[in-house]
Amino acid sequence: MNLILTSDFPSTVNTAVCNRMRRCSRPPKIAWISPFTMLGRERYPRAQELFASCGFPDLEYCDIDEEPDDGQLARLDEFDIIYLTGGDPIRFRHNIERTGLRSRIQKCLEAGRLIMGASGGAMQLTANVSLFRLTSTTVEEVVADRDGYKALGFTDYELLPHLNRFEPPFLERVRRYSEWVSHDIIAVADGAATLHASGDRFTCVGCAARFRRGIMEEIQTAE
């Protein structure tokens, strides 16, 4: 499985991620998918600069909100890398479903394309996006409604990005939430990533932790 989940790449550079990307092509053609038109148009120029500084100048903007190009989205498998940006993961999920992006990303993954994301975009590639709701909703409500927030399901865990930014009270809510779910929650700090060989086989690079049935523990990561 050619899959990478990151907290904030390329805002924080990760050498292992860059090396995996370079294996696709030199340079790889990257589809940069933003959840919202206004946010995407605003951030795209900076994204071009950041990707280019890492050696990836061939970045193409893809809209799935107000200005979707059906022809462009139908040709996603012509890109070497499909990258989902950050953004509100609940609204992101809605636009993925509305535009039929789910099946297109699935086909790209099956064709061996590298699928990757950052923050809210990375959460789309996991089992569920309910963790985001813990920022404003009780653990009990999130657990009760979590079946309505299933994501693309390429991994068998949920992802918590920006581990380094959260205060202990929020992490305690995540710990309590983990008591109710049968799978792991993998938390990655900015600069960290999970690199997959399959849905359940992956390597963490950078600062990461695992929440499992109410217990939080650090993950031994690769250098």
Query: 81: domain CATH number?
Result: 3.40.50.880
Lookup: tokens for 57: 């100048």
Question: d(Cα 180, Cα 56) in Å, to the nearest integer?
Answer: 41
CA 190 to chain centre: 12
Between CA 98 and CA 64 the distance in angstroms is 9
Residue 78 in domain = yes
State the residue range of the domain holding 12: 3-218
Residue 223 is assigned to a structural domain of this protein: no
Per-residue pLDDT tens over the stretch 80-134: 999 999 999 999 999 999 999 999 999 999 999 999 999 999 999 999 999 999 9
Residue 200 domain flag: yes
Cα–chain center distance at 165: 17
- Closest C-alpha to 176, from 218, 140, 128, 133: 140
For residue 89, what is the DSSP state? H
| Residue 197: predicted pLDDT | 81
Give the number of C-alpha atoms closer than 13 A to the C-alpha of residue 188, restricted to the C-beta side: 30
In a domain, 174, yes or no: yes
Q: Please state whether beta strands 114-118 and 81-84 pair in parallel, antiparallel, or not at all (unpaired).
A: parallel
CA 72 to CA 88: how far, in whole Å?
A: 23
Report the domain count for the chain: 1
Six token digits for residue 146: 């979590």
User: Does residue 74 form part of some domain?
Assistant: yes
CB 222 within 8 Å of CB 205: yes
pTM of the model: 0.95
pLDDT in tens, 140-174: 999 999 999 999 999 999 999 999 999 999 999 99
